[in-house]
Amino acid sequence: MSAYRTIVVGTDGSETSLIAVERASSVAADSAAELVIVCAYTPATRDDTAAAEDALKDEAYLVVGWTPAEETLRTAEERAAAAGAKNIRTVAVDGPPADVLRQSVLDAKADLLVVGNKGLNTLSGRLLGSVPSDVARRSGVDVLIVHTT
Backbone angles phi, psi at 36, to 5 degrees: -110, 115
Task: Using pLDDT thresholds of 50, 70 and 90, give the confidence band for residue 148.
Answer: confident
C-alpha triplet 121, 123, 125: angle, nearest 5°: 65
82-109 pLDDT, tens digit per residue, is 999 999 999 999 888 889 999 999 999 9
Q: Which domains does the chain have, with CATH numbers?
A: 6-146 (3.40.50.620)
Sequence-distant (6+) residues with CB within 8 A of 88 are: 25, 34, 35, 37, 77, 80, 81
pTM of the model: 0.79
Share above pLDDT 90 across residues of the chain, in percent, rounded to a whole number: 47
